[in-house]
Structure 1
Amino acid sequence: MTMNDEFAERAWTIKRLFRKRVARYWKEQRRVWGTVVDGVVLCYLLFPLLIAGVVYAGWWADPPAWMAAGPLWAAQLAPMLLALGARFRTFAEDADVLFLHRSAWRRGLLAYGFGYTAAGLVVPGIVIYAILLPFLMGVHGLGIADVALLFSAAWSVSLAGALWRNRIHGRLRGFRKEACIGGVNVTLILALLLPSFLSGSAQTAAWLGCIGLGAGTAYVLLRGKLRHDGDFASDVALEHAARLSGTALLVRDVVPHKPLVRLDKPLFFRRSQRLFRSDASAVVLAESALKAFLRQWLMLRYWLSFMSLGIFAVSQSPLFAQIALAAGIPLLVNMMVQNHRFNFTGEAFVRQFHWEDSDLRKAGERLRLWLVTPIALVLGAVAGYDSFGLLGIMGGILLSAAYLWFVNHLTAVFGRLRATRRS
């Protein structure tokens, strides 16, 4: 291979430039979300996903009353959010005005951006309609072809809305821009909503017309954008907003608008009163960690969420799923409490007392029992009552207590092993 051939092989093309920008964008998003999402957070996310999966399976087996009474047009509310939130991604950058002076490059990046936007709308659309399948097919008796028709209509309308709003951002300013975007959003809502009030062949024809109208509008808007070069500044601004959307979501409650000093009183234990009479070091440390846990509204909210969502999920699930939930949810709460104990004992004020390893271990065991026991016993009682009636309550409580003792003992064993390795 000659030097010229090697240079030609490594030369930049429109496709390669677009691919590099997309890869860099997702790498940046991964780094941003990697600052807050770790293994513990993923375990916490596993809990609502597990509950959602159980509830979803229950919808197929026995749709709840509110779902059975829901009209067909209610299924279009979720696709409306997709249509209203869709963005046309161009991946334009500030330096393009200097270096991408050839119009072919600009049009090429826009064409690839159109393909990226169209493909990007497929994934959330599939997720939305997969969640709606028990309602569409189980309640209203639609076939898979009808669902595919609804999905195609929502996809084409969302794509047209993304391009339409992009063109408005590039051509209008101020009140006129906001008014036109509002009119576009209303048009998209009506396009997705009105066919649901029809029936039979008229409804099918309306959905097909919605698909054709959305695809045709998207095509016309794309051709107009390819011919018009005045949208570059707005494309760059919109891309900056898209790249920073993840960061803005994470820091929305971190950066204060005004330097206000707030002194929030805890909901519980506003005074430093003792809870137990024992002066043993392990009891004092566990008591302090318990009060620190209950004084933090965020931790208390997580604990109450595990309790309430666990009761709901167990009561709405079959027996095999009840056993899995009654065993899995206390494990997640146990991890949360263990993480709280490590954070509490790692504070400088607590570490200055030089606690013995045995005190730390016993305090952790007590804290886990105090905070995990209520959830485990309640879930066991609910599962026992739902499956076996009043007699099952005592059995569920006894099994949950034995399981909780095993989990707490196993956690303590792993804690001793980790302490031995560190020493």
Structure 2
Amino acid sequence: MNSSRLLFHRMRENWNYKYKIIKTVIDWTILIYLVVPAAAITIFVYRSWWIDSPAWIASVPFPLLFAIYFFLLWGSYFKTYIREADIIFLRKNERLMLGLKRGGIIVSYLTEALSAAFLAVLISPLWMIHYGLSVKQLILFFGMWVSLRWLIMAVNGKLNVHLRGWRSLVRSIPVVVGAGTIWWLSYKALQSSSLLSVFIIIILNGTASMLLLKKRFTSIQTFEQDLSIDEKDKNKYTEMIFGLSMDIEKLPKPKPIRKSPRLYSKSNRIFKTRSPRNGFLELFIKASTRDTEYVRGYFQVLGITAVAIFFSPPIWLKITIGAVGVFFLIVWIGSVWYKLIGGHPFTKKYSGKEGYIKGKQIVTVVLLIPFVIICFLNVWILPWIRSLFLFF
């Protein structure tokens, strides 16, 4: 087996692995009722952008567009498709292993270039119709974007991927500052229509990424770092997909041992009145707020739906997305309630009791109220304010 066949075999394994994970989350019912309508709505909205610019784009100045794409620069690595067992088998065949690594790095370069092309096609109607810029400027913009993304990926490949917490944050500050400076210079070069400056930035970013990748590209001595990067990328994707499904049983994440939790450290009572309903409510509040996974999931549902409603032009589409969001949130709340209360060995025997049912109903209503308010603001209040104040 040569290095090209081995690379395509590893890539196929990687895609099959991701496909199996996605199948555990998106069954045929979700595909029919959520994914397919969402795809149809996306196509409809995108077509409407070519006909007429959406109203919300008026409140997005061009510098803000640059800032948004700065946040899309992060979160990826150059993968080499190395496996742990390769230390025994492939290291004996240095030529085969180097061919695999080089092929993986080249594929990563091409994948990011295709991602940039997709993003360019996505915003092209807004770029040309609203901002009045040319296709050449769009190509240069995404040339700068993908070259800087390559550079950030190469820098991340040189850093210790095992660092967590404040150490990882401190280490990332110089990288963010440096990338922000380059991106600001890119904005200035594009604004001044200086083609020479734009080409220099693209070439410098691309060359710097290649220089930083030279050791990984030409040596097998970076095996441990390559393996760590591939495993981190794989685990990140797995956690993201599993996090979408509350029904999949996940292994508990290791947490530092504490003498007492940060919240409710003395396990003090939340409600003065003791009743079965308040008991279930108190148990749910303590269990859910002590785990950031549930808090983050709730705000993710709110944020994603609010953004979708804000960016959708027709009023009927806003109402439809809001209704789908309410349905999805109710299902999500039910899944969390079952995981924390209904499925627990000590409380599931009370699932038919009045206190259990009332507690679940109160939790559902309370968590729906902010969601409904946000939807109401997006659908009716914000358009009304814009009609009164043209500068808003």
Please tell me the TM-score bracket, short chain as reference.
0.5 to 0.7
Alignment partner of 2:326 out of 310, 315, 330: 330
Structure 2 CA distance for aligned equivalents of residues 385 and 32 of structure 1 = 39
- 1:347-366 equivalence runs, <5 A: 347-350=344-347, 352=349, 355=352
Paired residue type of 1:62: A
Q: Which residue of 1 aligns with 2:314?
A: 318
Alignment partner of 1:88 out of 78, 82, 87: 78
Comparing both chains, which one has the higher relative contact order based on Cα–Cα distances under 8 Å and sequence gaps of 6 or more? 2
Q: Which residue of 1 aligns with 2:185?
A: 194
Q: Which residue of 1 aligns with 2:3?
A: 14
Structure 1 CA distance for aligned equivalents of residues 18 and 158 of structure 2 = 26
User: Structure 1 residue 96: deviation in Å?
Assistant: 4.1
Q: Which residue of 1 aligns with 2:54?
A: 61
Structure 2 CA distance for aligned equivalents of residues 65 and 319 of structure 1 = 18
> SS in structure 1 opposite 2:78?
coil
CA spacing shift, 1:348–1:92, aligned 2, 3 Å: closer
CA spacing shift, 1:253–1:125, aligned 2, 3 Å: farther
Structure 2 CA distance for aligned equivalents of residues 45 and 239 of structure 1 = 31
User: 2:351 touches 2:357 (CA, 8 Å); kept in 1?
Assistant: no
User: 1:157 touches 1:214 (CA, 8 Å); kept in 2?
Assistant: yes
CA spacing shift, 1:304–1:114, aligned 2, 3 Å: closer
User: Structure 1 residue 117: deviation in Å?
Assistant: 0.9
Structure 1 CA distance for aligned equivalents of residues 303 and 76 of structure 2 = 34
User: 1:196 touches 1:203 (CA, 8 Å); kept in 2?
Assistant: no
Alignment partner of 1:118 out of 109, 116, 119: 109
Q: Which residue of 2 aligns with 1:281?
A: none
User: Structure 1 residue 39: deviation in Å?
Assistant: 6.2
Q: Which residue of 1 aligns with 2:257?
A: 258
Q: Which residue of 1 aligns with 2:271?
A: 270
- 1:25-174 equivalence runs, <5 A: 25-28=14-17, 37=25, 60-63=53-56, 66-68=59-61, 70-71=62-63, 74-81=64-71, 83=73, 85-93=75-83, 95-96=85-86, 98-100=88-90, 101-122=92-113, 124-126=115-117, 129=120, 136-137=127-128, 139-163=130-154, 166=157
Structure 2 CA distance for aligned equivalents of residues 123 and 78 of structure 1 = 19
User: Structure 1 residue 105: deviation in Å?
Assistant: 1.6
Structure 1 CA distance for aligned equivalents of residues 149 and 194 of structure 2 = 20
How many matched pairs?
A: 350
Percent sequence identity over aligned pairs: 15
CA spacing shift, 1:234–1:194, aligned 2, 3 Å: same
User: 2:305 touches 2:321 (CA, 8 Å); kept in 1?
Assistant: yes
User: Structure 1 residue 60: deviation in Å?
Assistant: 3.6
Paired residue type of 1:105: L
> SS in structure 2 opposite 1:261?
coil
CA spacing shift, 1:257–1:248, aligned 2, 3 Å: farther
CA spacing shift, 1:369–1:129, aligned 2, 3 Å: same
> SS in structure 1 opposite 2:323?
helix
Deviations 1:100-150 (Å, cap 9, x if unpaired)? 434432332133112221133135435655665576445532223321221
TM-score of the two chains, using structure 1 as the length reference: 0.58
Unaligned residue ranges in structure 1 (runs of 5+):
1-11, 170-178, 275-283, 390-423
User: Structure 1 residue 84: deviation in Å?
Assistant: 5.4
User: 2:116 touches 2:142 (CA, 8 Å); kept in 1?
Assistant: yes
User: 1:136 touches 1:147 (CA, 8 Å); kept in 2?
Assistant: yes
Deviations 1:6-30 (Å, cap 9, x if unpaired)? xxxxxx2212222233334455556
CA spacing shift, 1:335–1:89, aligned 2, 3 Å: closer
CA spacing shift, 1:104–1:244, aligned 2, 3 Å: same
User: 1:314 touches 1:382 (CA, 8 Å); kept in 2?
Assistant: no
Structure 2 CA distance for aligned equivalents of residues 242 and 373 of structure 1 = 34
Structure 2 CA distance for aligned equivalents of residues 165 and 382 of structure 1 = 40
CA spacing shift, 1:257–1:386, aligned 2, 3 Å: closer
Structure 1 CA distance for aligned equivalents of residues 70 and 383 of structure 2 = 43
Deviations 1:257-293 (Å, cap 9, x if unpaired)? 234332744999534445xxxxxxxxx77x7766665
> SS in structure 1 opposite 2:133?
coil
**Farther off after superposition, 97-106 or 297-306:** 297-306
Unaligned residue ranges in structure 2 (runs of 5+):
161-169, 244-249, 385-392
Paired residue type of 1:255: P
Alignment partner of 1:208 out of 155, 174, 199: 199
Structure 1 CA distance for aligned equivalents of residues 21 and 193 of structure 2 = 48
For the pair shown, which has the larger CA radius of gyration, 1 or 2?
1
User: 2:144 touches 2:198 (CA, 8 Å); kept in 1?
Assistant: yes
**Farther off after superposition, 372-381 or 132-141:** 372-381
Paired residue type of 2:131: H
CA spacing shift, 1:293–1:311, aligned 2, 3 Å: farther
User: 2:271 touches 2:282 (CA, 8 Å); kept in 1?
Assistant: no
CA spacing shift, 1:147–1:373, aligned 2, 3 Å: closer
Structure 2 CA distance for aligned equivalents of residues 183 and 374 of structure 1 = 41
**Farther off after superposition, 21-30 or 179-188:** 179-188
CA spacing shift, 1:254–1:108, aligned 2, 3 Å: closer
Structure 1 CA distance for aligned equivalents of residues 224 and 330 of structure 2 = 52
Structure 2 CA distance for aligned equivalents of residues 260 and 115 of structure 1 = 49
User: 2:315 touches 2:379 (CA, 8 Å); kept in 1?
Assistant: no
User: 2:281 touches 2:363 (CA, 8 Å); kept in 1?
Assistant: no
